[in-house]
């Protein structure tokens, strides 16, 4: 993709979102950043080589999609590249997964991306160009124990991506997902702490167990996930896909 584009990255304050924002900016695009943490967004914006706009928001708020898009449009015009990265995981046995746990997973990992995608599509279709990339998970493709709410939400996200891609296939708008394994991010640090607390293993032992979940024997880096996101942004022929970035854990 040669032309500079107006990009919006959710969950941009750290981890995968920050890595994607850096790569998009380095490629010459304007990058709007949204997350709950305004301080982290400001710090990231200050280091990006190109134009950056910070729009702090809780994407689970019912009015968040409209407010964030309106602010970006007011400054730069329509969003052309949307990276749906905001998300979080929870872990609990099925019988201890509360209604609140379940609803939070759906709100953050599925409903918020749906609202943002819905808000982005009309302008993208009108202009005959759009790239939407959702950061899902290998949990979008298989079931693992103790993460039922997270897994259900990520399966739903991949289903949303596939249906939207089919609907928009002739419009110039592509919709894809990347499905990482365990990535070396603050979210995985939280998973390590949770495993350590529940199993009496040290943090080092817990992290090693997660590393072994990838056949390559290590955690995925945020930049490796960003590689897949940038591929989806660059290509008009990739759509409706869930691209695994998991070190060979799921061969599909």
> Among this protein's residues, is 150 annotated catalytic?
yes
Which of 98, 101, 176 shows the shortest CA–CA distance to 135?
176
| Secondary structure element (H or E) that encloses residue 34, with its range | strand 30-34
SS3 content of the chain, % helix, strand, coil (to 5): 50, 15, 35
Of 137, 150, 220, 228, catalytic: 150
Which of 198, 232, 195 shows the shortest CA–CA distance to 210?
195
Which of 236, 242, 225 shows the shortest CA–CA distance to 11?
225
CA distances from 45 to 53, 145, 160, 198 (A): 7, 38, 30, 37
Catalytic residues: 150
């Amino acid at each position: 993709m040669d032309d500079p584009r107006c990009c919006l990255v959710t969950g941009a304050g750290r981890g995968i979102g920050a890595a994607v924002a850096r790569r998009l900016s380095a490629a010459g695009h304007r990058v709007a950043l949204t997350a709950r943490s305004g301080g982290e967004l400001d710090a990231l914006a200050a280091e990006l080589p190109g134009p950056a706009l910070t729009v702090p928001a809780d994407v689970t708020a019912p009015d968040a999609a409209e407010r964030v898009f309106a602010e970006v449009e007011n400054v730069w015009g329509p969003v052309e590249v949307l990276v749906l990265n905001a998300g979080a995981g929870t872990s609990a046995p099925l019988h201890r997964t509360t209604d609140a746990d379940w609803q939070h997973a759906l709100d953050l990992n599925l409903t918020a991306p749906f609202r943002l995608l819905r808000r982005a599509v009309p302008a993208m279709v009108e202009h005959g160009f759009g790239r939407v990339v959702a950061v899902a998970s290998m949990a979008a493709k298989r079931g693992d124990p103790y993460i039922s709410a997270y897994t259900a939400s990520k399966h739903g996200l991949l289903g949303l991506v596939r249906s939207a891609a089919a609907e928009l296939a002739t419009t110039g708008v592509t919709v894809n997902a990347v499905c990482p394994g365990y990535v070396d991010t603050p979210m995985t640090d939280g998973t390590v702490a949770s495993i350590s607390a529940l199993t009496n293993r040290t943090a080092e032992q817990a992290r090693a167990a997660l590393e072994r979940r990838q056949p390559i024997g290590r955690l995925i880096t945020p930049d490796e996930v960003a590689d897949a996101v940038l591929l989806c942004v660059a290509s008009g022929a990739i759509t409706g896909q869930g691209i695994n970035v998991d070190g060979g854990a799921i061969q599909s």
